Amino acid sequence: MTDFDLTAIPTVAVPVTDQERALSFYVEVLGFQKHMDVPLGQIGGRWITVGPAQSATTIALVPASEDTPAGVDTGIRITATDAPAAHRGLVEHGVDVDELLQWDGVPPMFGFRDRDGNRLVIVEQVRR
């Protein structure tokens, strides 16, 4: 037990080799909104956050380094109202996508990679 409260996970960092190229991909291809973009010399670039308009969590596109290389499985899961449509759309944009998985009892989902090879997953939002 701790004597402090942890209250949220507002941002997850994804290492990228070219912040401008990454910003273009996340905004123009995925349709995310840019939430913040400020110079930050301490990280050797800018502090850029992007995410779906209504999401409480954002992705920080941070400069890759020897300690935090690009091309990782981020573990990030993004929901979509229609995973098959998202899959078709990303294929049309030339994005490196995996097979659309449609298993009984599990929402449709698929993995894809951004321009740096970072893997993310889109999962169809479960309607309750």
Q: Considering the entire predicted model, what is its pTM? A: 0.92
- Per-domain boundaries in the chain: 11-124
DSSP letters for 78-110: EEES-HHHHHHHHHHTT-EE-PPB--TTS--EE
Name the architecture of domain 11-124.
Roll (3.10)
Q: Give the single-character DSSP code of 22.
A: H
Contact, 26 vs 59, CB < 8 A?
yes
- Asked whether the CA dihedral 37, 78, 126, 91 is positive or negative, the reply is positive
Would you write out the chain's pLDDT as a tens digit for each of its 128 residues?
Answer: 678 998 999 999 999 999 999 999 999 999 999 999 999 988 889 999 999 998 999 999 999 999 999 999 999 999 999 999 999 999 999 999 999 999 999 999 999 999 999 999 999 998 76
**pLDDT score, position 43:** 86
Can you tell me whether residue 52 is helix, strand or coil?
Answer: coil
